[in-house]
Amino acid sequence: MIINHPLLGPRDSSEFVYLGDACLINRPDWQADDALDQFIEYGHTRDNPAGLHRELWYHEQGDRSWLVVTRNTVTHEITQVELARDVARAEGRSK
């Protein structure tokens, strides 16, 4: 499987470490009234789609960047690769 790194170009997936669902970027507000429920959801509950899945990959044997990879869990086809920091900033996460 080849991951098309947005900066470095196509790289073998063996250079990367898989973390899991990219929803981990959306860390809940710890001061919210229902923070406990939100963190239980955040920490434990995952969708398990047969199809497109956004997931976090870490380029450990390369530039050490975190990527958000959109992968089809049925075919392994990768349709989009973004720098996780760009995704986080676009969602107002990185301040």
Residues in contact with other proteins by CB under 8 A are 7-8, 12, 14-15, 60-65, 83, 85, 94-95
Supply the minimum distance, in Å, between the C-beta of residue 94 and other proteins: 7
92/95 Cα distance (integer angstroms): 7
Which lies closer to other proteins via its Cβ, residue 65 or residue 72?
A: 65
Question: Least CB distance from residue 58 to other proteins, whole Å?
Answer: 12
User: Going by C-beta distance under 8 Å and a sequence separation of 6 or more, which residues neighbour residue 22?
Assistant: 54, 55, 56, 68, 84, 87
Residue entry with tokens 């996780």: 84
Closest to other proteins by CB, 80 vs 94, is: 94
